[in-house]
Amino acid sequence: MNKWGIFNGPHTDFTPEWFKDIGSQLVMTMVLNAFIPSLCEYVGWAIMTGFRCCDRGCKKRLKKANTEDGVNTDLLVQEELEVLYTGEPMYA
């Protein structure tokens, strides 16, 4: 193994110096791996909510007042509207 450089570091055992050098990096990696997947889901949700808000003209109202169709959207094709408002399919 030593011809590839594995196990040729400055630390020979789990010493307090090893925990200062390697342990902190290892803990930071585990913390990031715990929170990043959830954070990505929330960011995706926020982006889609922003797109929906822009589609409605940044108004909370989903239906237009005093219109024939009553839908508050700038999209003309039903498929585009469904893609914007339904989101990704959920698989179990």
The predicted-structure confidence for 26-65, as pLDDT tens digits, reads as follows 999 999 999 998 898 899 889 988 888 887 777 766 666 6
In a domain, 2, yes or no: no
User: Does residue 23 belong to any structural domain of this protein?
Assistant: yes
Mean of all residue pLDDT scores within the chain: 80
Q: Looking up tokens 């630390």, which residue turns up?
A: 11
Which pLDDT score is estimated for 1?
58
DSSP code of residue 11: -
Q: Indicate whether 28 belongs to any domain.
A: yes
Residue 5 domain-assigned (yes or no): no
In-domain check, residue 7: no
Averaged pLDDT for residues 12-21:
86
Full domain range(s) for residue 43: 15-86
The reply to whether 64 falls in a domain is yes
Neighbours of 72 (CB within 10 A): 16
